[in-house]
Structure 1
Amino acid sequence: MDHHVLILGGTTEARHLAERLDGLGRVTLSLAGRTKRPARQPAPVRAGGFGGAEGLATFLSDNEVTVLADATHPFAARISANAAIAAEAAGVPLVRLERPAWSLVAGDRWTEADSVMEAVAALGSSPRRVFAALGRQELAPLEVAPRHFYLVRSVDPVEPPLDLPHVEYLLARGPFAMADELALLKRDRIDAVLCKNSGGAATYAKLAAARELGIEVLMVRRPTMPAAGVVASTVEQAFEAIAHAMALVSERGE
């Protein structure tokens, strides 16, 4: 039968999964459309939202999706929740590709928080020089602490600019090399790194650089994801789970 996999993407892992699935069936890669300059994708792309869990369930049914693969960002809790609800409603197997979180190693100086707002508060009352490696839509809490200097790195321009007296913007897309991150932290005399526990190798170098320089890291913990579907931690595991789900669907003759 003609299998159809819908990948909820926007991550490097989603792109690699689409590449890995080449030849196994039809693949559609869904992007939320938040990034203005998305990386080139190896499969047909659908941009924009679905209209919540109900809209996604309708899309799964109308487009005869065989397997739903949730390869969104580890902090995309709402999308993952909608995926779990939609997959169950449409009777479609769900595979969630979740990259492992970063863990503390010897020499790290992490202060963990449950939100960006909480992490900003943890910077303290004295002015600091902060490297903010966050998504564009998560920067608003910085405005409650204008006493700090912020170096903001993002893939797309921050528009409108933050209402802050001391802020600089850096446009860049990972992966980032250790030597470059060290040079960046030294050049701007950074004494705190503010980021989310996104995991993965592409942006880990800033943590290694902070460790080497003895810089504090304000680390936002991951949200709790729904306990649904098969959870894979690598692209290969996700591929195997999808192939297995396809085989089961074929056996049932669906």
Structure 2
Amino acid sequence: MKHFLLIFLINVICIEIKANVTSSEELQNKDEPTKLLSRRKRFLIFPDGSSFQIVFCTQNHGYLQLGNIVWFGTTAALAWELPTDPGAFDMFKDLKAYQGQRRQDILYYVDEDGKIVDKVEYKRKILINPALAKRSVDAAERNKRNITKFNIKEMHKLQKNKMLFENLDATRIEHHRTERQEIYAKLEKFLQTLGLDGKECILKMLCVTGKQRSKQASFVAEILRAVFTLPKVPDTMSKVHKHYHDAPGSNGDCSELYPKCEAISME
């Protein structure tokens, strides 16, 4: 029993001594300077001409006294050029003339040492805002008449009586006819699946639209009027879609001419 207690005390003393030595070494290491780890700088390289853009768009609508809707949109955009060559930043350290300045539409080419070897004028690409692009229908009509100043009432009066396809050339008219004829064929199949006579309903819509050209209707009716307004080209008219051409010029009541379609109405 005495030998066991003696061995136990010796182990406790050894553990205590080892702990004191470890703590003293840690205190000594605190006074010594730490080893610095270093590595080369890393860069993100983007394709030439890359930029980071933030675009903020807002859109508001209002109602005029004449019953029309006006949409007003504003757009604010900011762009920051992204680095394309990490060596290009070295020239700002040696040349004070470039400090605090932006590129100003000039591309600088530098060598491995960061020295400028050449500079080329940067030409920005022409960007066209789709909201400001001119439509073919409006552009063709604008070339046929002189733009004069008039008030809002006169403007809407002209808009109600405007013939969209009156001054278009044959190529553009044929394009509008082809696109609409394809839509009519698809709408016929869609209405057929709803249990209606698709062909009869499409012809009725064309007939009603042809008789209400100068009458201003509701917002939905104006959309339907634009879709079911078919340009007339008698000389190049397709025999397959001849019934589409004849419907807008039909004489008589459209409901009596196409009695199989009672669910379609422009009102």
TM-score normalized with structure 1 length: 0.21
Instruction: Report which of the two structures shows the higher radius of gyration computed on alpha carbons.
Output: 2
- Greater relative contact order structure (CA < 8 Å, 6+ sep): 1
Higher helix share: 2
